[in-house]
């Protein structure tokens, strides 16, 4: 198994140092994911930019978490599922919605379920969701802009989920209690 280095502000490649400093300022610490991403300052910069842009989207904070948690489930990312569960709890998201997302079940809120199904289709179909799926998503009260914002959230998670799979990112302390293993059918 290839071993990757988890960098910090002191030992990171020079161009990654300001990115890790910004991450630390935003989170109060450097999460393990970003520490590993620092091996490629370009990856870390891309992830940080996409994270910030998705955070500015017209989707609410809870809707953004639905997109993120759906991607984490579909991509079987233990690290991000634990992290976004914690973030969703910090945002006071309905525990029943969080549990359903972690278990792969239908969400109790019809609007969030429509978002969940659309985000799931985007991941599973690699973007080839078809007009019917888009129309169903729009009929649930979302916009064409939201369609494209789901793609932005999916791209963000692609970078983090795939990085975690390859580098075997260990959970951060703040995720304790939210460990996750994808349920089997």
From first to last of its 185 residues, the chain has per-residue pLDDT tens of 889 999 999 999 999 999 999 999 999 999 999 999 999 999 999 999 999 999 999 999 999 999 999 999 999 999 999 999 999 999 999 999 999 999 999 999 999 999 999 999 999 999 999 999 999 999 999 999 999 999 999 999 999 999 999 999 999 999 999 999 999 86
DSSP string, 82-144: HHHHHHHHHTT--HHHHHHHHHT---SSHHHHHHHHHHHHHHHTTT--HHHHHHHHHHTT--H
Distance CA 35, CA 179 (A): 20
Name the residue among 90, 43, 89, 51 with its Cα closest to residue 68.
51
- Sign for the CA dihedral angle at 41, 45, 46, 47 comes to positive
Q: Residues 57-105: pLDDT tens digits?
A: 999 999 999 999 999 999 999 999 999 999 999 999 999 999 999 999 9
Distance CA 7, CA 53 (A): 24
> Would you state the pLDDT for residue 130?
96
Do residues 16 and 41 touch, judged by C-beta distance below 8 A?
A: yes
> Would you state the pLDDT for residue 117?
98
């Amino acid at each position: 198994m290839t071993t990757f280095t988890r960098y910090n502000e002191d030992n990171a490649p020079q161009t990654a140092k300001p990115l890790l400093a910004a991450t630390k300022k935003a989170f109060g610490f450097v999460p393990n994911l970003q520490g590993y991403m620092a091996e490629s300052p370009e990856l870390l910069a891309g992830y940080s930019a996409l994270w910030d842009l998705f955070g500015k989207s017209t989707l609410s904070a809870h809707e953004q978490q639905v997109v993120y948690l759906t991607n984490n489930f579909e991509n079987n990312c233990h690290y991000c599922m634990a992290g976004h569960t914690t973030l969703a709890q910090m945002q006071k998201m309905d525990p029943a919605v969080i549990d359903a997302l972690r278990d792969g079940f239908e969400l109790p809120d019809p609007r969030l379920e429509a978002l969940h199904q659309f985000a799931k289709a985007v991941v599973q179909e690699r973007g080839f969701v078809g007009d019917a799926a888009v129309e169903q998503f729009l009929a649930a009260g979302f916009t064409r802009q939201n369609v494209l914002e789901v793609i932005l959230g999916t791209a963000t998670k692609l970078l983090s989920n795939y990085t975690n799979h390859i580098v075997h990112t260990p959970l951060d302390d703040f995720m304790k209690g939210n460990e996750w293993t994808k349920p089997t059918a």
